[in-house]
Amino acid sequence: MREIIPTPPSSDPPLIVKTRQGCGFSARWLGTGVAGFIDVSGLLELERQKGAPRIYWHRELPPYDAQPMGEHIVEATSSPVPDTIARRDELWNRCRDDLMAKARERLTEEMVRLGGRYAHVLDESIETRHNPSTGEAWLARRFTYMLYR
């Protein structure tokens, strides 16, 4: 399906067209139109084929044309940190950041392995784990997500 967006009569300056991405919009320069029109069908196809699989969190919605493949669960854990009361906030933030990086990596790996293009995280739970013999603590998180193609 080809979508044509009419341009204003004086299209000497570069034209900016807004395209939908996730929950927001991004502006893209398209140049000037021919006879007052711009053919954006190629741009829309490039947007669909662009890059790596996408992860959508909770309220974010995947593209409307995505087809559900099934609901899955993935788990991730952070690197251990010293289990001490000193600098507790700093250690928690470090664990959380590490955990989210590993979670994104795990979700992307699973999406590629299962042949999906998008994942929509529906639910997540987080727990703290402790190992008293080593004096370490870490975070563990479980994500329930819907995989789309």
Q: Where are the domains of the chain?
A: 4-49, 54-148
Q: What is the pLDDT along the chain (149 residues), one digit of tens a residue?
A: 444 445 445 444 444 444 444 444 444 444 444 445 545 555 445 445 555 569 999 899 999 999 999 999 999 999 999 988 788 889 989 999 999 999 999 999 999 999 999 999 999 999 999 999 999 999 999 999 999 99
Under a CB-based contact definition with an 8 Å cutoff, are residues 142 and 75 in contact? yes
Measured CA to CA, the distance from residue 149 to residue 5 in angstroms comes to 28
Task: Read off the pTM.
Answer: 0.62
Closest CA to 121 of 138, 139, 100: 100
CATH architecture for segment(s) 54-148: 2-Layer Sandwich (3.30)
